[in-house]
């Protein structure tokens, strides 16, 4: 048998990149890019180090400028203590320190004080705000009170001697259920706002109490000189905060069990209809609420009597005449 010849497998040909055209130029390009990159990084590092050293030196110099006077003062203070009259020498040092302590105490006390911005209309205080940030809210609330009073006075044709019954739930104003969150400060602010409109017109406010006093009324005595008064003192939790504010603000307040008012203003659903004249006409205002409490208003007019043959005075349809 013929011997089988073992053939060594050929290795795959490798392309010699160096024999390719342009190889040397490509290598030179890569070398140049690497060299420049390294050079730029080294330069950038040196500049960053120089900037850091400069910043360090500047910071140390600044610290020295700040500490140098303190060190000089400390040295002078020690020299004064070592002198023949240390107490006399300490006076120029202790006086500025005492002044600094007093200044700090005054500033700290002033920062702890609470200031309020008082709001006045025609010389009458109608409310206040704790901070200037709340001024816009307070101004809107004030405008709502005054607008409600003015619009009701115009719609009801209120004149001197007329009476407006006002029921107000401060609990509803602050967003709580009637009778659960009585707030005297809010009641006083609302009363002052309404009274600043009605008082110059000669119109009297009759403040309705809550159900604990059977919805009695607090009114100026001169508004009802011949009425039968009752004996009761309204309190925030037994009479309502608004009636309490009215009692404290009137010159000669009296309490009545009933009245026949010419118009009514209900703030928060306090049901004032029982104290209006027999024919009440709803009045729609541009202001729908004060705080969170809805507003309902009414005017009154004379009754129409007779039948189909009756002839009516057209002027009386809008309210009671002025004699």
Stronger pLDDT, 309 or 82, i.e. the higher one? 309
| Region of poorest pLDDT, from 50-64, 118-132, 165-179, 223-237 | 118-132
Q: What is the pLDDT of residues 134-151, one digit of tens each?
A: 556 666 666 777 888 999
| Region of poorest pLDDT, from 115-129, 221-235, 296-310 | 115-129
Phi then psi for 2, rounded to 5 degrees? -75, 135
Give the pLDDT confidence score for residue 1 in this predicted structure. 45
Give the pLDDT confidence score for residue 11 in this predicted structure. 55
Reading the block at residue 312, the tokens are: 């009516």
Question: pTM here?
Answer: 0.58
Supply the mean pLDDT for the chain.
82
Q: How many CA atoms lie within 13 A of 297 on its CB side?
A: 23
Give the pLDDT confidence score for residue 24 in this predicted structure. 60
Reading the block at residue 297, the tokens are: 């208003």
CA 246 to CA 183: how far, in whole Å?
Answer: 14
Give the pLDDT confidence score for residue 180 in this predicted structure. 86
Q: For the chain, give the percent of residues with pLDDT over 70.
A: 77
Give the pLDDT confidence score for residue 233 in this predicted structure. 94
Q: What is the pLDDT of residues 193-236, one digit of tens each?
A: 899 999 999 999 999 999 999 999 999 999 999 899 999 999 99
């Amino acid at each position: 048998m013929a011997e089988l010849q073992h053939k060594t497998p050929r290795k795959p040909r490798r392309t010699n990149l160096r024999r390719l055209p342009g190889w040397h130029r490509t290598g030179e390009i890569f070398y140049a890019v690497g060299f420049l990159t390294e050079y730029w990084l080294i330069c950038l590092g040196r500049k960053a180090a120089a900037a850091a050293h400069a910043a360090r030196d500047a910071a140390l110099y600044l610290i020295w400028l700040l500490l140098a006077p303190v060190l000089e003062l400390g040295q002078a203070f020690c020299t004064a203590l070592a002198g023949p009259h240390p107490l006399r020498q300490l006076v120029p040092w202790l006086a500025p320190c005492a002044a600094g302590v007093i200044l700090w105490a005054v500033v700290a006390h002033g920062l702890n004080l609470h200031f309020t911005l008082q709001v006045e209309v025609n010389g009458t205080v109608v409310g206040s705000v704790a901070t200037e940030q709340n001024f816009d809210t307070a101004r809107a609330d004030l405008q709502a009170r005054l607008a409600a009073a003015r619009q009701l006075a115009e719609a009801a044709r209120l004149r001197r001697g007329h009476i407006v019954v006002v029921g107000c739930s401060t609990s509803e104003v602050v967003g709580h259920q009637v009778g659960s969150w009585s707030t005297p400060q809010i009641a006083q602010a609302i009363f002052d706002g309404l009274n600043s409109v009605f008082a110059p017109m000669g119109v009297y406010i009759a403040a309705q109490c809550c159900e604990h006093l059977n919805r009695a009324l607090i009114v100026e005595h001169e508004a009802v000189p011949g009425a039968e008064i009752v004996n009761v003192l309204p309190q925030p939790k037994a009479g309502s905060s608004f009636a309490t504010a009215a009692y404290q603000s009137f010159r000669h307040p009296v309490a009545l069990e009933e009245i026949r008012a010419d118009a009514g203003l209900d703030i928060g659903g306090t049901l004032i209809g029982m104290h209006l004249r027999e024919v009440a006409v709803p009045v729609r205002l541009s202001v729908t609420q004060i705080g969170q409490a809805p507003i309902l208003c009414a005017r009154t007019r004379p009754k129409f009597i007779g039948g189909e043959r009756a002839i009516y005075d057209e002027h009386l349809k809008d309210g009671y005449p002025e004699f």
